[in-house]
Amino acid sequence: PRIRIGSEAPNFEVDTTKGKIDFHKFIGDNWVVFFSHPADFTPVCTTELGAFAQLEPEFSKKGTKLIGLSTEPVESHKAWIKDIESYKNTSVNFPIIADDTKEIAFKYDMLSEEQLQNINSGLVPTIRSVFIIDPAKKIRAIISYPPSLGRNSAEVLRAVDALQTADKNGVVTPIDWTQGQDVIIPPTVSDEAAKAKFGEFTKHFNYLRTTSLK
Amino acid sequence: PRIRIGSEAPNFEVDTTKGKIDFHKFIGDNWVVFFSHPADFTPVCTTELGAFAQLEPEFSKKGTKLIGLSTEPVESHKAWIKDIESYKNTSVNFPIIADDTKEIAFKYDMLSEEQLQNINSGLVPTIRSVFIIDPAKKIRAIISYPPSLGRNSAEVLRAVDALQTADKNGVVTPIDWTQGQDVIIPPTVSDEAAKAKFGEFTKHFNYLRTTSLK
């Protein structure tokens, strides 16, 4: 693939519902959740964009910016946003990219097998991609769902939280981890160093030690 | 990428903790959750495999088989399984693939940018990939997380549930949907056909109609 875990997020300049952006400048020193939706004025997408708009303050508290994308022009996005805002009684404050040349969808692999084969046809709906990008502009996590399957907004927030907690504290997070639960001390840290850094910890195996963050 | 939403899952023959398998024969008429973990005897992986082992009966009820993978031999997996079983007080009944040639990790893009560049070095930990594969052997959803980030087992189960519900009922599912909640009638179904098929529905917009499944 063009993009893997650890790849640098490809840069681009593009028009959005909030004006032209240079993607790397948009990222700046923030974390970014970059996600595509298949098409404006379609049902699952309306529920998704509404949910992300409602959750934006939570992402904001974590220094995380949201940005959407589909392969339609700005005017289409702007007309559709009115529906989203009335349906969820919210306001969509993050930009939605107008990728009407499909360049970004191609660069970021936001296409299904079938869509890739038809990329030169008129309408190319994107899949439901999510890229979590860190301030170093590296791709840290990717979720790819088909058009029929609405995402899980809480899982996107949890993944951002887990990645930030890991980076900040030099730990890793177990399956199903949520804020406040015990974290894992990486095997590269000695017991002595772990004690100095984290205080108490539980040693389940030599390689599996858990601790709570103060 | 070699694998996108809608691609056929590439076939392979390989040794596992439950004997040799042909992957397409293993899929058979089932849904499959195929997931990789970075390495045996590592902490996050132990919590993950334990959680999936505990959830296997839930997947089973949905006609869904689990299968794991890392780039280590069967003997390593078998020794490590004892730790998983004692840590989570469960038993690991699904096979774990011994991809010690790294062929499958390469075919399925289970590698980070850095790992791909070092694929010919000795140890190549895989990323945390999840592929949801349907009985037609098509890739329906993909999740790719880095080694530091434990997955969300409930989200994998929810995604399987949503895909199966969509296929069975000719509907699609909104963001954050869980079993029992309202589903969406696709815009390709007329109001008349929707009424005949689903009975009552709510029309939020022409393109957004929700209904409950009996």
ipTM of the complex model: 0.96
CB-nearest partner of B153 from A163, A176, A186 = A176
A chain contacts of residue B147, beta-carbon cutoff 8 Å: 172
CB-nearest partner of A151 from B147, B166, B175 = B175
Per residue, the 3-state secondary structure of A131-148, as one string, reads EEECCCCEEEEEEEECCC
Beta B64-70 vs B96-98: how paired, if at all? parallel
B142–A142 CB contact, under 8 Å: yes
Mean of per-residue pLDDT scores for chain B: 96
Determine phi and psi for A153, rounding to 5 degrees: -65, -35
| 3-state secondary structure at position B168 | helix
d(CA B189, CA B101): 48
Mutation pick from B5, B31, B131 vs chain A, by most beta carbons of A within 10 Å, is B5
A chain contacts of residue B142, beta-carbon cutoff 8 Å: 142-144
- Give the pLDDT confidence score for residue B60 in this predicted structure: 98
B158–A144 CB contact, under 8 Å: no
Among chain B residues, CA nearest to A108: B1
Going along chain B, which residue ranges are E strands? 13-16, 19-22, 31-36, 64-70, 96-98, 128-133, 139-145, 183-185, 202-205, 208-211
Ordered by start, the domain boundaries in chain A are 13-151, 170-211
Q: Which residues of A19-38 are buried (b: 16+ CB within 10 A; e: fewer)?
A: eebebeebbeeebbbbbbbb
Four-residue CA torsion sign, B142, A153, B55, B147: positive
At B84-123, the pLDDT tens digits run: 999 999 999 999 999 999 999 999 999 998 888 888 877 7
Beta A31-36 vs A64-70: how paired, if at all? parallel
A chain contacts of residue B143, beta-carbon cutoff 8 Å: 142-144
Q: Please provide the distance, in angstroms rounded to a whole number, between the alpha carbons at the two ends of chain A.
A: 40
A144–B149 CB contact, under 8 Å: no
DSSP states along B16-69: ETTEEEEHHHHHTTSEEEEEE-S-TT-HHHHHHHHHHHHHHHHHHHTTEEEEEE
Determine phi and psi for A117, rounding to 5 degrees: -70, -25
State whether CATH 3.40.190.10 applies to domain A170-211: no
Among chain A residues, CA nearest to B175: A150
Whether B66 has a pLDDT exceeding 90, the answer reads: yes
CB-nearest partner of A149 from B149, B151, B159 = B159
A87–B177 CB contact, under 8 Å: no
CB pairs under 8 A between A and B: 198
B81 touching A (Cβ < 8 Å): no
The strand pairing partners of A210, in sequence order, are A184, A202
B119 touching A (Cβ < 8 Å): no
Distances (CA, A) of B205 to A96, B31, B33, B183, B213: 21, 34, 35, 15, 20
| 3-state secondary structure at position A80 | helix
CB-nearest partner of B177 from A144, A150, A174 = A150
CB-nearest partner of A1 from B109, B175, B205 = B109
Q: Alpha helices, DSSP H only, in chain A?
A: 23-27, 43-61, 74-88, 103-107, 113-117, 153-169, 191-198
- From A63's Cα to the closest Cα of chain B, the distance in A is 19
Q: Do domains A13-151 and A170-211 have the same CATH topology?
A: no
Which residues of A are catalytically annotated?
A: 45
DSSP single-letter state for residue B138 = B
| 3-state secondary structure at position B204 | strand
Q: Are A69 and A159 within 8 A, CB to CB?
A: no
**Token reading at A23:** 């993607």
At A92-146, the pLDDT tens digits run: 999 999 999 999 999 999 999 988 888 887 778 999 999 999 999 999 999 999 9
Average pLDDT over residues B11-39: 98
Q: Which CATH number is correct for B13-165, 3.40.30.10, 1.20.950.20, 3.40.50.720, 3.40.50.620?
A: 3.40.30.10
B117: number of Cβ within 10 Å: 11
* Distance, CA of A3 to chain centre: 14
Mutation pick from B82, B86, B149 vs chain A, by most beta carbons of A within 10 Å, is B149
| Residues B176, B134, A113, B127, Cα dihedral to 10° | 70
A152 touching B (Cβ < 8 Å): yes
A161 touching B (Cβ < 8 Å): no
pLDDT tens for the 214 residues of chain A, in order: 689 999 999 999 999 999 999 999 999 999 999 999 999 999 999 999 999 999 999 999 999 999 999 999 999 999 999 999 999 999 999 999 999 999 999 999 999 998 888 888 777 899 999 999 999 999 999 999 999 999 999 999 999 999 999 999 999 999 999 999 999 999 999 999 999 999 999 999 999 999 999 7
Active-site pick, B45, B49, B84, B96:
B45
Four-residue CA torsion sign, B164, B166, B168, B169: positive
Just give the CATH number of A13-151. 3.40.30.10
Tally of CA atoms within 13 A in the half-sphere of A136 that contains its CB: 8
B chain contacts of residue A163, beta-carbon cutoff 8 Å: 146, 148-149
Closest CA to A49 of A85, A7, A75: A85
Average pLDDT over residues B46-66: 98
- Which amino acid, B151? R
Average pLDDT over residues B72-95: 97
Q: Which residues of B138-151 are buried (b: 16+ CB within 10 A; e: fewer)?
A: bbbbbbbbbbbbbb
- Give the pLDDT confidence score for residue B1 in this predicted structure: 66
**Token reading at B14:** 């390989």
- Give the pLDDT confidence score for residue B207 in this predicted structure: 97
User: pLDDT > 70: what percent of chain B?
Assistant: 100
Q: Are A3 and A141 within 8 A, CB to CB?
A: no
A chain contacts of residue B50, beta-carbon cutoff 8 Å: 175
